[in-house]
Amino acid sequence: MGVPERLAARMSMAEQHEYLRTRFSRRTMIRGGAVTLGAVAGGAFVPGATAQAAVPTQTFTAAETVDGSLVAPFGRHLAFGDDPRTEIGISWQVPLAVKKPFVRIGTHASHLSVKIDAEVRTLFTPAGVGVSGNHTQYYVHARLTGLKPGRTYFYGVGHAGFDPADPRFAGTVGTFTTAPAHKEPFTFTAFGDEGVSYHGLANNSLLLGQNPAFHLHAGDIAYADPSGSGKTADTGFDSRIWDQFLAQTESVAKSVPWMPAFGNHDMEAWYSPNGYGGEEARWNLPGNGPDRRNLPGVYSFVYGNTAVVSLDANDVSFEIPANLGISGGTQTTWLEAQLKKYRAAKDVDFVVVFFHHCAYCTSTAHASEGGVRQEWVPLFEKYTVDLVINGHNHQYERTDVIKGGKVTRELPVGGTAYPETDGVVYVTAGAAGRSLYSFTAPLSYEGHVDDVESVASFVNTKDGKQNETVAWSRVRYLDYSFLRVDVAPAAEGRTATLTVSGIAESGERVDHFTVARKAK
C-alpha cells in the first residue's frame, strides 16, 4: 500500500494506519473528489444514515435519482447476538447509498409483519490504497432481540422503494432459526482460509447440505489483503474482494449464522489503528468480548450444551507481530474467566475454542505458533477444552490427544478422546479455498492411513523459527475440505459426545473421531 518494505516490517498495525492516513490526507482525498467523515475524524466508517452525506457527491446525488426498486441488496449474512436463543444480527450490502434501510420479519414468508430500522456503515477506500480506484461500500445491519428460542423466522431486507413484503421481491425472503431453549442434537461446521474461488464456492455448497446450526470461520476470510503480513507495502490490497466474498457466501450465510474469528489477512491498515475498522463495518458480531475497540473478533456464545469461544491470535502471534500485545493481556485474562464460567455452568457440557494461528501443526508454511502455546494452551488444558479449531495452514491436520506438549492418548481415525482426563485435540481446518500448502510427512487419512512415529516441523517463537520433532501429528490430508461436528447431548451422568468429521470437497470423509464427556 505504498510504504517501503523495510520500513513496513518494523511498523505495528497502529503505525501503519497512521502512515496511510498521513499520506492519503484530507487534502489529497478532497482533491480527488471524495472524503468521508470517518477519514476526517480518523475513524474507519461512519455508522448511521448520516454517513451517506460524506460519500462522494456524485455518488450520493445518483442514489437520490435512482428508483430504489432497482437497487438490489446482496451479500446477506447472519450472526448470533450474545444469546443465540433470542438474538440475531442480519447484515447485507447495497451497491450505492439507499434511503431508510430496514428488515422485515415474521413467522411466514407472506406475513412479514414486523419492520425494524437498519444501520448503514459506509466504508470508503481511496485510490492509491491498494489496486482499486475510489471505492465506497455500504454495509447495512440490524440487530433483532426478543426472539423466541428454537423458532424459525422469515425475514427480508429492504429500503425505500425495495420492500420484501412486495410480491415483486418475494423471492428475496430468507429464514433463520434461533438456538433451542434446551439441549438438543445439532450440527455445526467450521473452516478457515476461504477467499474467493471455485473451491470456496464448492465448499459452501457442501456446507449447506450439512444443515448446520451455525458455521465457524477460523480467520483469513476474504483475502482482500493478499500478503497477510500486516504491512502497508501490500500493493495488492483490494477492498472490492469483500463484495465478491459476501456474494459468494450468501447462499449459506443468509440462513446459517456465519461466525468469524480474525486472521492475519483480516488486518487492513487503512481503516483503523488496530486494522479491524473494515471488519467492524462488515460484521455484526456478539459484543461480549473483553475489548470491543481493539478486539472486535473476540466473543463467546452458547448453543445448546456447547459453549463456543472466538479468539484473536494476532494478539499473541510471534510469527506476524503487527498486532502483537494489542490487548495488553486482557484477552488471556478474559479467556480464563470464560473457560472457568463455562466449566461451572450447569447447562454446558462442551467447550469449543476457535481462532486462526495454529497451536499444533506441521505444515511447511506456518507450522505452529509459539505465542498461542505460551498464552492459551495451558488454559485449554487447565479447563479441559474439548476441541480447538484453527486455520492459517492451508490443509487438514489433526493431532492425537495432547497435554503438556506430549501425546497422552493416541487418537486413530475413529478413536475416542476423553478431555476430562487425557488432554486436548487440535484440528487445523485451513483448506476452505486458498492455494494449498504441504507436509514433510506422508499423507495419512481415513482409508489411506500411513502412520509415522515422528514428524519434523517447527514452531514460531519470539526469537524466530525453532525446529522440533513431534509425535502428535495423527491425520494429514492435503486437499480442500472443512470440518463437521455433530453434537449429541445426554441425560445427566450419561455420556455426551462430539463426533468430529473432516469432509473433503468431493464429499468424501477423510477423518472422524469422537470427544466424550459425562453430561451435567
Could you give the CA distance from residue 156 to residue 111 in angstroms, rounded to a whole number?
11
Q: What is the residue extent of each domain of the chain?
A: 20-175, 182-219+297-518
What's the rounded mean pLDDT across residues 135-159? 97
Could you give the CA distance from residue 432 to residue 260 in angstroms, rounded to a whole number?
13
Please tell me the predicted confidence (pLDDT) of residue 95. Answer: 94
Could you give the CA distance from residue 343 to residue 225 in angstroms, rounded to a whole number?
38
What's the rounded mean pLDDT across residues 231-238? 71
Could you give the CA distance from residue 518 to residue 520 in angstroms, rounded to a whole number?
7
Which residue type does 321 have?
P
The third-level CATH classification (topology) of the domain covering 182-219+297-518 is Purple Acid Phosphatase; chain A, domain 2 (3.60.21)
Q: Do 171 and 157 meet the contact criterion of CB atoms below 8 Å apart?
A: no
What's the rounded mean pLDDT across residues 14-42? 51
Judge whether residue 325 has pLDDT over 60. yes
Could you give the CA distance from residue 109 to residue 259 in angstroms, rounded to a whole number?
25
What superfamily does domain 20-175 belong to in CATH? Answer: Purple acid phosphatase-like, N-terminal (2.60.40.380)
What band does 231 get if pLDDT is binned at 50, 70 and 90? low
Say which residues have a Cβ less than 8 Å from residue 72's Cβ, sequence separation at least 6: 94, 95, 162, 172
CA-wise closest residue to 358 among 345, 340, 376: 376
Nearest-5° Cα angle at 276, 270 to 280: 115
**Mean pLDDT computed over every residue of the chain:** 90
Q: Percent of the chain having pLDDT more than 90?
A: 81
Please tell me the predicted confidence (pLDDT) of residue 129. Answer: 87
Q: Do 104 and 203 meet the contact criterion of CB atoms below 8 Å apart?
A: no
Higher-confidence residue: 22 or 506? Answer: 506
Q: Do 216 and 207 meet the contact criterion of CB atoms below 8 Å apart?
A: no
Judge whether residue 410 has pLDDT over 50. yes
In angstroms, what CA-CA distances link 396 with 18, 67, 209, 391, 503? 38, 48, 20, 9, 10
For the segment 464-500, what is each residue's pLDDT rounded down to a tens digit? 999 999 999 999 999 999 999 999 999 999 999 999 9
Kindly report which listed range (23-27, 92-96, 169-173, 213-217) carries the lowest average pLDDT score. Answer: 23-27
> For 78, how many CA atoms within 13 A lie in the half-sphere containing its CB?
26
Please tell me the predicted confidence (pLDDT) of residue 230. Answer: 58
What's the rounded mean pLDDT across residues 370-393? 98
Q: Do 63 and 97 meet the contact criterion of CB atoms below 8 Å apart?
A: yes
What band does 110 get if pLDDT is binned at 50, 70 and 90? confident
What band does 377 get if pLDDT is binned at 50, 70 and 90? very high
In angstroms, what CA-CA distances link 439 with 192, 456, 472, 488, 503? 18, 9, 14, 33, 19
Residue 508 phi/psi, 5-degree rounding, is -70, 140
Please tell me the predicted confidence (pLDDT) of residue 104. Answer: 97
